[in-house]
Structure formats: C-alpha cells, structure tokens
C-alpha cells in the first residue's frame, strides 16, 4: 500500500532527479533510482577526494574564502578532473554529461552523509568541509555570473530586501556597519533584512547593522547568509541520518562499503609501482636514505632494526611494504631482512619463520596480491602496544621522546616547538610536513599523506633540486582546531582495509602438506603475534 503523502513525495523526488537546473545544490531531498555498487563506491570516493582537497587547502595557509583560496581550489578540481567542474558548467550547455555530474554531486553527498554520521567527530569533519565546499562553489558561481537568483528561488531561500526609503534613512548606520560598502557602491547595492539568528556569522564578525532583532546584510555578504543556512540544515540532517542508521546495518553490502570509509587513502597509489621502474634502491643504500629521506615513522623502524636486528610482525609488514614501494626488489628484500635477522638466529629459522611473509608482501605467496604500503591515516590510526615501534611518532611517541628524537635529527629548537604545538593540537600530518620542510629548507604544498610520498618528494628534491611546492611557508600557516583528517581522532579504533595484507596469510602455502592450523601458524609467524591475530587465523 502506498499512501498519498508518500506518492506525492516520490513524485517530487522524481522531478528533482529528472533535471538539475543549477550547478549548486542544497541537497534537500535524497536521490532516488538505482546505482550499482561500483558506481556507489566510485562516487563516494571522488567526493572524499574533493573534501580532502578542501581540507588540505584550508591547512596550507591561504585565507579561507579569499580570491586566492577559491582560485587554488578550482585549479585543484580542474587538475584532478573532479565532477564539480562539469557540474557547474553553464546551464546553456546543460548536456547529459552536466546532468550526470550534477547527479554524482547529489548522490555522493548523500553517501558521505551515511559514512560520516556515525560519530560526533566524523559529523563535525563532514559538516565543516561540506560547508566550506558549498561556500567556495557559491562564491565561484557569483564570480562567474551564474544564475544565483534561480538557485535561491528553487531552494526557497527568500530574503527580503529593504526599500529605498529604509536604505536612505539608515544610510549612515549601514555605511558604518557594513564592511566593503562605501558611499559610491552603496547606491546600487541591495540590502537584505533577516532575523539576526540567520546571520550569526556576520554578527560575530561585527560586519552588519543590527536593529530590533534584524540584521541588514549587504548583497556582498549573501554567501555568508546562504552558507549559514546550508550549515544548520546539514547539521540537523546529519543527526537525523544518524538516528536512521541502524536500519542500514542489515544491508551487508552497504555496511562493507561504508565501514571505515573516513580512513580511506585518497593519494597516489603505490601498489602498482613496478619495482625498479623509476627508482631502485638496494640494501646498502637504506641506512643513508633513512637518514636523509625517510619519514620519522620509517626511520624509527629502521633504527630499531639496526640496533635490535628484529622487528615485530606489524613493523615488518609496514616497513617491508614501504621499502617495496620505495624500490627494493624481492631478492634484495630477502637479503636485507636476512642480513639483520641472522644476527639473532640461524638461516633455517629465518627461512621457516620470516621469508614467507616477505614473499607474501611481494605477492609471491598466498593470495598473490600486490599489497599497497600503508598511508599516514592507517598508521596514525593503528593500535600500538607497549614496545611497538610501527606507529606514527607524532601520534604515538611520548612527547619527551619525540622531542629527543627531533633533536637527534638536527631539527632546530624553534621548529621543534612548532612541531610540538601541532602535535598538541593533533595535527600529526602537518607536524610531519613541518619536519619535512625543516630538513629540506623548502615548503611542500601537497602536505604529507603517505610515507612513500614523503620519501619520493625528498628524493625528487635532493636529486633533482625540484621544488616540490609553490605553497606558503608552513611558518605562515595558521592552523585551526580542525583535524587534518577526522580519522586521526584517537577515539576511533583501527582496522585494516581489504587492500592491505591481512595480519596473517589467509591460505596455506602450496605443497599439499597436512599440517594443522596451529602448526601452520607456528611456521609462518613468530612468537610476537598477538593472541587476537592467532584466534582470528584459527577461525
């Protein structure tokens, strides 16, 4: 049975879906229709990249919503061919592609609502960056002369403009209270009279004239007004979505796709890199490279390996994959690990316990997958037990130890203080970026989001003198209390994604032996595997 109300709602949705008349959306109604799971995943992933581009720019020192900020953001969108560019094409060229891009905009926004409504922290991250994105798009639309009035009309955003008489009578007050309004520009300018609660941002900045509970907003500040409305609506909708979330949990397909979505790595893919194609490293180079170009997380692993000639399981996986993507081939990797481990054991023990794992990382055993090295978010979110050295030093190290280590790395006291401040605010990746900049003496615009990116940028700079960035010096960067990524929150747990090797091989090695599962485990892994991993494997 279908109720009239629902029928009407559906009709309204279908109409909304049929055509998107504006490149800007207020996301009032959820999308309808069919989307394949692949499309669902791709759309969501691209929007995540868009939001992270906004976040990166916010943290790179440009003044938010300034001309420069918008230009940079749109350059980034164009460079990556994000759907935003196509979706905002003029309505005259309202072709199928434009409609498709607008639909992607619509659908992907709602998918991310599902992924980001789970916790307060995720909601805050999503709302902040969606709002920034919306404001940038609104300002861009104003800049290029898009039909803003049409957008306001279709979204029922009716702001009442004041009459010419009222404008004249309040002229002095309006001139004194409104920024960017002069006697010359005032004549042709429209002022909107709105309840002050709708213009809190402008009130907070003391940018509007207030009278009897109303704010007089010049049209130049319309973007702030609309954005504030967007933000409060989104905030309310996110809470509603969160309440409805348990209904989704029965759909395993969606749960799998959305699980840990915020931790997805969106940077360069290092898994497909052919070892030795653009750069090749050999075991004898590793110590020198570690001192010059490895990020602190990998340098820490290398230091421990050099001194103890052993790394625990997670350390071996993370460091092994990093070295693989850095250009160490399988033969060299076996040689490298063997040369360290043989200081504590004989060849047979090494071959029995460790060489399988190394070959597994290179896709020569088990599932034969070309595993990706871990990105920053995954390392930062990892669980660290006492004695583990595979975490991100900026997140997991004790403050005093981190300071000592940075002194040993010859970082100046001033930079160390800056880094400690960033760490204190939980800006771990920016702290790492600051470290990179201090050891290379140049800024890095792209930020740091992957240990291999840290390494590659360093090598590019040291070998070719290539300036990795045209960005601002980090010392000029003003950071906000926003997290670099929401997933950096220490309150969330970490799990591994399907693109990474599981914490143990899933299949038996070839050879048709008749070992029991526990015997297999003994053979593949050493004594430091956590009990949980063993249990999981035995299941």
Within 10 A of 72 (CB to CB), how many other CB atoms are there?
20
> How far apart are CB 375 and ligand SF4 at their closest, in Å?
8
Given the complex with ligand SF4, which of 31 and 295 has the nearer CB atom? 295
> How far apart are CB 382 and ligand SF4 at their closest, in Å?
9
Within 10 A of 210 (CB to CB), how many other CB atoms are there?
15
> How far apart are CB 46 and ligand SF4 at their closest, in Å?
23
Interface with ligand SF4, residue 429, by CB under 6 A = yes
- Geometric angle at alpha carbon 139, from 133 and 144, rounded to 5°: 125
Stretch that binds ligand SF4, among 65-73, 113-121, 188-196, 294-302 (CB under 6 A): 294-302
DSSP assigned state of 263: G
The span from the CA of 116 to the CA of 119, in Å, is 7
> How far apart are CB 37 and ligand SF4 at their closest, in Å?
31
Residue of 451, 471, 501, 505 that binds ligand SF4 (CB under 6 A): 451
Interface with ligand SF4, residue 294, by CB under 6 A = no
> How far apart are CB 330 and ligand SF4 at their closest, in Å?
24
Block residue for tokens 């960017």:
180
- The side-by-side arrangement of strands in the sheet containing 209-211 is 160-161, 191-195, 214-218, 209-211
Interface with ligand SF4, residue 373, by CB under 6 A = no
Q: Residues 177 to 216: which contact ligand SF4 by CB under 6 A?
A: none
Stretch that binds ligand SF4, among 116-124, 193-201, 239-247, 373-381 (CB under 6 A): 373-381
Given the complex with ligand SF4, which of 210 and 439 has the nearer CB atom? 439
Within 10 A of 399 (CB to CB), how many other CB atoms are there?
10
> How far apart are CB 54 and ligand SF4 at their closest, in Å?
20
Interface with ligand SF4, residue 392, by CB under 6 A = yes
Block residue for tokens 């300018």:
189
Residue burial 159-176, b: 16+ Cβ < 10 Å; e: rest: beebeeeebeebeeebee
Query: Measured between alpha carbons, how far is residue 208 from residues 107, 191, 197 in Å?
Result: 36, 10, 12
Name the β-bridge partners of 216. 193, 209
Interface with ligand SF4, residue 295, by CB under 6 A = yes
> How far apart are CB 449 and ligand SF4 at their closest, in Å?
7
Closest by CA position to 402, among listed 384, 414, 419: 419
In terms of C-beta density within 10 A (0-12 exposed, 13-18 middle, 19 or more buried), how is residue 499 classed? middle
> How far apart are CB 374 and ligand SF4 at their closest, in Å?
8
Q: What are the φ and ψ backbone dihedral angles of 193, each rounded to 5 degrees?
A: -105, 115
Stretch that binds ligand SF4, among 40-48, 177-185, 218-226, 425-433 (CB under 6 A): 425-433
Given the complex with ligand SF4, which of 224 and 397 has the nearer CB atom? 397
The number of residues that bind ligand SF4 (CB under 6 A) is 15
> How far apart are CB 268 and ligand SF4 at their closest, in Å?
13
Residue of 61, 296, 357, 471 that binds ligand SF4 (CB under 6 A): 296
Whether 391 and 470 have beta carbons less than 8 Å apart is answered as no
Instruction: Name residues whose C-beta falls within 8 Å of residue 156's C-beta, 6 or more positions apart in sequence.
Output: none
Stretch that binds ligand SF4, among 239-247, 251-259, 375-383, 495-503 (CB under 6 A): 375-383
Residue of 394, 461, 483, 525 that binds ligand SF4 (CB under 6 A): 394
Helix ranges, 144-179 (H): 148-154, 164-169, 171-177
The residues that touch ligand SF4, with contacts defined as CB under 6 A, are 295-297, 376, 379-380, 392-394, 428-429, 432, 448, 451, 454
């Amino acid at each position: 049975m279908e109720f009239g109300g629902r029928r009407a709602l559906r009709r309204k949705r279908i109409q909304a879906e049929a055509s998107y008349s504006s490149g800007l959306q207020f996301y009032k109604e959820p999308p309808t229709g069919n989307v394949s799971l692949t499309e669902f995943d791709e759309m969501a992933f691209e929007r995540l990249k868009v939001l992270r581009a906004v976040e990166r720019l916010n943290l790179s020192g440009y003044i938010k919503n300034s001309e420069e900020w918008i230009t940079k953001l749109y350059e980034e969108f164009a460079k990556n061919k994000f759907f935003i560019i196509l979706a905002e094409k003029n309505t005259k060229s309202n072709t199928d592609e434009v409609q498709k891009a607008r639909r992607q905009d619509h659908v992907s926004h709602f998918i991310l609502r599902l992924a980001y409504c789970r916790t307060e922290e995720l909601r805050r991250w999503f709302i902040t960056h969606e709002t920034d994105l919306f404001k940038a798009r609104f300002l861009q639309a104003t800049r290029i002369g898009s039909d803003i009035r049409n957008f306001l009309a279709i979204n029922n955003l009716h702001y009442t403009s004041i009459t010419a008489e009222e404008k004249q009578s309040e002229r002095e007050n309006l001139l004194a209270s409104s920024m960017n309004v002069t006697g010359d520009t005032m004549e042709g300018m429209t002022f909107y009279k709105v309840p002050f609660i709708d213009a809190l941002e402008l009130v907070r900045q003391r940018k509007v004239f207030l009278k009897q509970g109303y704010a007089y907003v010049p049209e130049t500040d319309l973007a702030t007004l609309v954005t504030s409305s967007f933000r409060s609506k989104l905030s309310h909708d996110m809470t509603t979505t969160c309440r409805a979330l348990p209904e989704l949990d029965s759909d395993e397909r969606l749960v799998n796709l959305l699980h840990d979505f915020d931790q997805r790595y969106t940077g360069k893919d290092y898994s497909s890199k052919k070892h030795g194609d653009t750069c090749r490293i050999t075991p004898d180079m590793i110590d020198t490279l570690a001192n010059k170009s490895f990020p602190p997380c990998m340098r820490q692993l290398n230091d421990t390996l050099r001194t103890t000639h052993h790394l625990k399981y997670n350390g071996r996986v993370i460091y092994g994959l990093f070295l693989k993507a850095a250009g160490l081939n399988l033969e060299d990797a076996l040689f490298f690990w063997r040369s360290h481990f043989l200081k504590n054991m004989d060849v047979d023990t090494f071959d029995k316990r460790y060489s399988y794992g190394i070959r597994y990382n290179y896709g020569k055993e088990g599932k034969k997958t070309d595993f990706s090295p871990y990105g920053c978010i995954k390392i930062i979110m990892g669980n660290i037990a006492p004695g583990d050295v595979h975490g991100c030093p900026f997140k997991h190290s004790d403050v005093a130890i981190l300071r000592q280590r940075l002194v040993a790395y010859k970082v100046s006291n001033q930079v160390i203080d800056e880094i400690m401040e960033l760490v204190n605010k939980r800006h771990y990746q920016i702290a790492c970026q600051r470290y990179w900049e201090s050891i290379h003496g140049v800024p890095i615009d792209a930020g740091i989001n992957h240990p291999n990116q840290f390494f590659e940028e360093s090598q590019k700079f040291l070998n070719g003198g290539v300036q990795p960035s045209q960005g601002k010096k980090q010392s000029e960067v003003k950071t906000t209390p926003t997290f670099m990524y929401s997933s950096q929150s220490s309150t969330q747990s970490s799990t591994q994604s399907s693109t990474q090797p599981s914490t143990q091989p899933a299949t038996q090695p070839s050879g048709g032996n008749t070992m029991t599962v526990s015997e297999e485990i003994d053979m593949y892994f050493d004594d430091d595997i956590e009990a949980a991993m063993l249990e999981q494997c035995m299941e």
